[in-house]
Amino acid sequence: MPKDLRELPKLKDSISYVYLEHAVIEQEDLSIVVRQGRSRVPLPISSLTCLMLGPGINITHAAVRTIAANGCMVVWCGEHGAKFYAMGQGETRNAKNILLQAKCCMDEKLHMRVVRRMYEIRFPKMDCSNMTLQQIRGMEGIRVRSAYQAAAKVHGVSWKKRNGNTLQHEQ
């Protein structure tokens, strides 16, 4: 099992999958956790299309319910995915979420409602109800620059500014 499940391999058509064996899969809060021995690794189930379960998997009912609610397909297979035994279909055939996202992106009022709501979730004490998109982006830029400055200070790097895709620092 990989140490960091945020870096998942991609199939040619960009469908993410994870293959697991000899582990226990449980629901923890609103997410899924994979246990192997003393190791507990959160599984980013909402970003997966297919979860392949090999031999030695013990999975709770609550975990299966959460996996299904997140639209992930589950495949029960043999060692190293060599044999196919059964599957549970995720919602990959349903375009409801992508159509809603496209609608929110293309409708200016809906788009701003989403932008403001996402910013309010991240910063609950911030009132951005009357801010423009440019003002919100500016506030985010200030937050990111402050984060770079703090990280540079912690790691002893002399940092001036971010320019495009490169960091400029004093030599």
pLDDT digits (tens, 9 = 90+) for 61-96: 999 989 888 888 899 998 877 788 887 776 555 667
Answer for the pair 18, 5: CB distance below 8 angstroms, yes or no: yes
Would you state the pLDDT for residue 164? Answer: 58
In a domain, residue 107? The reply is: yes
Please tell me whether residues 52 and 75 are part of one structural domain: yes
Instruction: Give the pLDDT band of residue 14 (cuts 50, 70, 90).
Output: very low
Would you state the pLDDT for residue 30? Answer: 78
Please tell me whether residues 74 and 34 are part of one structural domain: yes
Which tops the pLDDT comparison, 151 or 122? 151
Express as a percent the part of the chain with pLDDT over 90: 32
In a domain, residue 51? The reply is: yes
Choosing from 88, 108, 128, the residue where a domain stops is 88
Please tell me whether residues 101 and 84 are part of one structural domain: no
Domain that holds residue 46: 17-88
Contacts 24+ apart (CB under 8 A), 62-69: 62/26, 62/27, 63/25, 63/26, 63/27, 63/32, 64/88, 65/27, 66/27, 66/30, 66/31, 66/32, 67/32
Question: How many domains would you assign to the chain?
Answer: 2
Mean per-residue pLDDT over the chain, rounded: 82
Would you state the pLDDT for residue 94? Answer: 61
Would you state the pLDDT for residue 31? Answer: 85
Give me the mean pLDDT over the 112-135 stretch: 89
